Amino acid sequence: MNNSSRLLALVLLLPTCLGLPATAAPGRAPIPVILDTDIGDDIDDTWALVLALKSPELDVKLVVTDFGNTEHRAKIVARILEVAGRTDIPIGIGIKDGDKESPQAEWVKGYDLATYPGRVLKDGVQALIDTAMAAKEPMTLIAIGPAPNLKAALEREPRIAGKLRFAGMYGSLHRGYGGKPAPEPEWNVKASQAAARAVLGAPWREAIVTPLDTCSLVQLKGERYARVRDSRDPLARAVLENYRLWCPRQEWCAKDADHVIAKSSTLFDTVAVYLAISSDLVKTETVGVRVTDEGMTVPDPAGRPVQWATEWASLDGFEEWLASRLASPAPPR
């Protein structure tokens, strides 16, 4: 880590060392959050959910599962919330479109949603609307998957956009996966272009998005990955249990000489969680986009302006913050 990155990381971590919320002012109330996720397909949603639960700056009020087999996804969410001791958080089951289970299915084999001690709301779209509209202060919506739920919610109750600050993981402006020098279709957009158009065109109170330009560069390796892998924190252990089920199904899954997984996958969605807290470690530009039928997000002055995190001010500083936060115990409630 260079001196600049180390300084940024220390700035982020020092409040935690003093017992205060990192990147939050002393005495500041946590940010109320709704998380909309397609957890279970790519493992990064699991890391992102755990990151949100471990962040004292955030107060997760509702988790809604989106896209595909939303009932299966809700089981993963429910078991993670049980591990976290956060069954006070309701789970909304989003629009179901298919029965395919995820590579993490073994982790919830035999799990019955009816046994979840908290509330499971069968109409996740309405749960999202009700939570947003009932809030006495603006909430933040973190969206980290294809977004049929959000399109439906905006159609049912357009006023939610004015109640919500939006932090999402969508698109590709100047670079593609892994820093490729040209933009390309990003999965969350490509999987549901109509939903992406609705989300990126909605009049949110504020909107900030991490495209592939930044989020596709995030990966924990070496000592940072080992810190999370070897943590005894129950949530960190839950992440690694799921990762060990998911990773061997990927051709690239990296193992060391002892056949131990040696690094994380790309942790796209963790950046959206971070942007709900702070944008200090990124550089942004404000631009409208047009979503094409191929799933491209093309800059277009006719589009609604959105703040895009298109460069890192310190990727190294972010990865240090991420590893330290994931490896540490969750803050007391």
| CA–CA gap between residue 273 and residue 56 (Å, rounded) | 12
pLDDT of residue 268: 98
Question: Each residue of 175-211: pLDDT tens digit?
Answer: 999 999 999 999 999 999 999 999 999 999 999 999 9
pTM of the model: 0.91
The ranges of the chain with pLDDT < 70 are 1-27, 254-260
Question: Each residue of 255-296: pLDDT tens digit?
Answer: 554 556 889 999 999 999 999 999 999 999 999 999 999 999
| CA–CA gap between residue 152 and residue 202 (Å, rounded) | 12
Domains of the chain: residue spans and CATH: 3-327 (3.90.245.10)
Alpha helices by DSSP H, listed for 109-266, are: 124-134, 148-156, 160-163, 187-190, 193-200, 212-215, 222-229, 234-246
Q: Which residues, in sequence order, are bridge partners of residue 273?
A: none
